[in-house]
Amino acid sequence: MKIIDLYRFLCAELTSISNNKKEAEAEAELILISEKFSALNSFNLSKESIYGSSHDIEVNQESHIFILQTIKHRKAGMPLQYIINESWFYNLKFEVFIDKYRKTLIPRNETEIIIDKSIDFILNNKVESALDVGTGSGCIPISILQNIEKNIKWVAIDPYLNEIPLNNAKKYNKLDHIEFQKISIQQFKKLKINKYDLVTANLPYVPSKSNIENTVKHEPQESIFGGKDGLIFIRELINILPRILNNNSIAIFEIDPSQAEYFYNLGDTFNVELIKDIQDQDRVAVLNLI
């Protein structure tokens, strides 16, 4: 089967899963340009070459088997990012899956707001130290470091830390810039705490009774749900912010839109800024001490 025929086959199969042709086409492209697919062949594809210079290349039997297995996993609800172990975020490619016991939350487009705000703050302020809480794949500190020239020392904590964020940091030559710690907020606050110029946090914030998509059920649930109102871990971190924030520093949280009022009510202690996502929903909260 030729590349272009394989692409059409993928599109048809994936459309039958999602009932969304554009989404299926995007997934088909990601599969064919993935490192897993390239490893089975003697060529690398780009999105453009699927339809152009490489469209008539014949693929081998191993590639057929991989495609059929991929479709099988997708029909079972597994996220594509786990199947190909690639998740694009802020124009960077991150590892997110080793096996069912070692996986991280898949980075979302909404989280890129944290990167934008952090970079803007770093470029306009003196930032030498930073803390990422609930680091998951490590996508937040790595993406920020990849897009600035300043030398910032990061600490990234997560009670479920595994090899994945270290692999990502190694891939982008950031291991010397990020100290990863397998530790919870409760454990962290008992330590002798340093102060930071920037704190970022994409903590579990989804209220426990919320309905989630089938694919999300394959992700680590401990990285998604934050108790009845989704604020259990956010409250823990906010309680220690006065101890860990330097003067003129900020903390940036990804939030559920339903939590906007909670953040506004912090106005006696913090200056509060809420940033909306592309759906015009409050998605990121920025705090700095008054």
For residue 58, how far is the Cα from the chain centroid? 35
55-111 pLDDT per residue, tens:
788 888 999 999 999 999 999 999 999 999 999 999 999 999 999 899 999 999 999
Residue with tokens 């030559």: 173
Residue with tokens 């897009």: 147
For residue 279, give the nearest of 162, 121, 108, 143 by alpha carbon.
108
pLDDT grade, residue 47 (50/70/90)?
Answer: confident
- Backbone φ/ψ region at 214: left (φ over 0), alpha (ψ -120 to 50), beta: alpha
For residue 133, give the nearest of 235, 230, 202 by alpha carbon.
202
Residue with tokens 């086959």: 9
In this model, does residue 48 exceed pLDDT 90?
Answer: no
- The helix or strand, by DSSP H or E, that contains position 102, with its residue range, turns out to be strand 102-103
In this model, does residue 223 exceed pLDDT 80?
Answer: yes
- The helix or strand, by DSSP H or E, that contains position 247, with its residue range, turns out to be strand 245-254
- Backbone φ/ψ region at 283: left (φ over 0), alpha (ψ -120 to 50), beta: alpha
pLDDT averaged over every residue in the chain: 93
For residue 143, how far is the Cα from the chain centroid? 10
- Residue 232 has a pLDDT of 96
In this model, does residue 209 exceed pLDDT 80?
Answer: no
- Residue 130 has a pLDDT of 98
Dihedral sign (CA 48, 173, 197, 165): positive
- Residue 35 has a pLDDT of 92
* DSSP 3-state of 240: helix
pLDDT grade, residue 2 (50/70/90)?
Answer: confident
For residue 88, give the nearest of 130, 33, 44 by alpha carbon.
33
Dihedral sign (CA 117, 47, 97, 79): positive
Instruction: Kindly list the structural domains of the chain, giving each domain's residue range(s) and its CATH number in brackets, ordered by start.
Output: 3-76 (no CATH), 109-289 (3.40.50.150)
- Average pLDDT (150-178) is 97
* DSSP 3-state of 2: strand
**Contact assessment for residue 85 and residue 95, using Cβ atoms and an 8 Å cutoff:** yes
180-198 pLDDT per residue, tens:
999 999 999 888 778 999 9
Rounded Cα distance, 156 and 85, in Å: 22
Lookup: tokens for 218: 């394959």
Q: Which residues contact 168 (CB under 8 A, 6 or more apart)?
A: 94, 95, 137, 138, 139, 142
Rounded Cα distance, 150 and 76, in Å: 44
Lookup: tokens for 133: 């809480």
Percent of residues, the chain, with pLDDT higher than 90? 79
